[in-house]
Structure 1
Amino acid sequence: MSRTIKHLLIGGLVIMTMGVPAATTANENDLELTIVNPKNLYDPSPNGYSTAVIAPRGGRVAYISGQGGQDSTGALSPDFAVQVEQAYANLRTVLDALGARPDQVAKLTTFVVDHDMSKLEVLTRNVKEMFGEALPAQTLIPVPKLAIDPMLFEVEAVVILE
């Protein structure tokens, strides 16, 4: 190998490693989500969500696929409230499998078939039971149907792992 090529290769390795940050150890406080509810906007927390959530610099992100109201056998109740409760239980199972807690969930997206205002109480109650004061940012999307016909609710999540 020529001397010029060796210098280019070595120079390239130096340049490539200059942009790589040194490994650091984060403490638990460095990995907490920061909830932002600006005072000059409507306070969404009574409805079970936060306006924005800032993820910590040192966290890894996990994306949880939509969890429906199927039980462990795949059966779906025809009752909306039962499906919502089961979907949040399923979400909790996925969080446990990831070694994550509910307060590490930064964002939820919920999909509701034939949404109307009567369903908000069910949704809000389940979110508050699972997340307490650490309410994630959330978007609710009304839809005409989901992946399978008896499915009435689905929730997906973005989680910051430690």
Structure 2
Amino acid sequence: MSRTLKQLLMGGILIMTNGVPAVAAAGDLKPAIVNPQNLYDPTPNGYSTAAVVPAGARVAYISGQGGQDANGALSPDFAAQVKQAYANLGAALDALGAKPEQVAKLTIFVVDHDMSKLGVLTENVKAMFGTSLPAQTLVPVPKLAIDPMLFEVEAVVVVE
């Protein structure tokens, strides 16, 4: 086994054994957030390292929400699309009877991502999730489903 593979496996074992919270109380739908002390603290950037779904919980998957308003219109402005996409995610959560703190994982897609967009992303995720920051992955993409789309967010949610 290569040295790199051994290091990756050991890192995964450490994450799995260090700091993983005990099972949540019955009926608690909030994922347990894990930010191991031996890893970089991602919370200033609006996400957590991992989230553990409570045993026996049901999980819902919310499809990618773009920045379209109720009429399907998209602003050409990146920040406006991000804000609207999180409002759309909030509406999807409401339809499930869920709250933001029940989100375990976000995957976001950003067209032509560069570092200048991180502030907008962090501001919006913190506005929605406060200190209950879900695990998150940012995927830079050249294009989304339709040409004017600049941003999309999908979610994994713990539901009753």
TM over 0.5: yes
Partner SS, residue 117 of structure 2: helix
Alignment TM-score, normalising by the size of structure 1: 0.82
RMSD in angstroms over aligned alpha carbons? 0.9
Match of 1:124 among 122, 125, 128: 122
1:91 aligns with 89
Matched AA of 1:51: T
Q: Residue 140 of structure 2 aligns to a residue in which SS? A: strand
Distance 2:31 2:59 in 1: 12
CA deviation after TM superposition for structure 1 residue 49, in Å: 0.2
Q: What's the offset of the Cα at 1:59?
A: 1.0
1:29-68 deviation per Cα after TM superposition (whole angstroms, max 9, x unaligned)? 3x33110000010000000000000000121000000000
Instruction: Name structure 1 gaps, 5 residues minimum.
Output: 1-25
Q: Which residue of 2 aligns with 1:28?
A: 27
Computing the radius of gyration from Cα coordinates, the structure with the larger value is 1
Matched, 1:63 2:49: no
| Pair 1:76 & 2:88 matched | no
Q: CA deviation at 1:107?
A: 0.2
User: What is residue 137 of structure 1 aligned with on the other side?
Assistant: 135
Q: Secondary structure at the match of 2:105?
A: strand
Write the distance in 1 (CA, Å) between the matches of 2:30 and 2:80. 31
Give the Cα–Cα distance (whole angstroms) in 2 for the partners of residues 135 and 123 of structure 1. Answer: 13
Query: Structure 1: how far apart are the matches of 2:88 and 2:56?
Result: 27
Q: Take 1:98 and 1:40, find their aligned partners in 2: how far apart are those partners?
A: 36
Task: Give the counterpart letter for 1:106 in structure 2.
Answer: A
- The equivalent of 2:49 in structure 1 is 51
Cα deviation digits, residues 109-144 of structure 1 (max 9, x gap): 000000000100000000000000100000000000
Q: Give the Cα–Cα distance (whole angstroms) in 2 for the partners of residues 32 and 82 of structure 1.
A: 29
SS at match of 1:28: coil
Q: CA deviation at 1:27?
A: 3.6
Letter paired with 1:45: T
Runs of 4+ residues over 3 Å off in structure 1? 26-29
- Match of 2:131, SS state, is coil
Of all paired residues, the percent bearing the same amino acid is 77
Q: How far apart are residue 75 of structure 1 and its match?
A: 0.2
- In structure 2, stretches of 5+ residues that fail to align are 1-24
Q: Which residue of 2 aligns with 1:156?
A: 154
Q: Per the alignment, in what secondary structure is the counterpart of residue 124 of structure 1?
A: helix
